[in-house]
Structure 1
Amino acid sequence: MPKNKPNKGLLKRIRITKSGRVKSKPAFGRHLRSHKSGDLMRSYRKAKYAHASDVKRAAGMLHRRIVAADTGVSRGKDADES
């Protein structure tokens, strides 16, 4: 039986932190920037962390469990087994 392959596009866009949070860069900060304020552009430099529902979706796309270490809550396809 073939192995499940993770979504490579998603792997390039996110990082899973040691505590189990899904970290990414915000959208809209790369081009068409001349009409955007400096405050807005500075806010795009900060890392964004995914909502719990998006973490569940990412776990399904990566075919792996993502466990938040600080809460002990398991999210993803195999969450019902624990």
Structure 2
Amino acid sequence: MPKKKSNRALLKKIKITAKKKLLRRYTKQNHFNSKQTGDLKRKKRRDVEITGTERKNILKAIN
């Protein structure tokens, strides 16, 4: 049986830190941002950590 291919598109969308944390970009930050508070706009500039079951599934898809 052939080896399972890793999901290359997924690797481009997330960042893996040295301590194996998975980080992704905050969503909904392209347009329609003028109505949002400054607090929320600043929050969206940061990366969000992926945790739980979602993290486990992503690690499976990568390897």
Q: TM-score, normalised by structure 2?
A: 0.83
- 1:26-79, Cα deviation, whole Å (9 max, x unpaired): 1111222121111100000122101121110101211x2xxxxxxxxxxxxxxx
Equivalent residues, number: 63
Q: How does 1:51-70 map to 2 (within 5 A)?
A: 51-62=51-62, 64=63
CA RMSD of aligned residues (A): 1.3
Q: Please state how far the C-alpha of 1:3 moved relative to its aligned partner.
A: 3.1
Letter in 2 for 1:14: I
Q: Which has the higher contact order (CA 8 A, sep 6+)?
A: 2
Q: Which runs of 5+ in 1 are unaligned?
A: 65-82
Distance 1:20 1:40 in 2: 27
- So what's the TM-score if we normalise by structure 1? 0.67
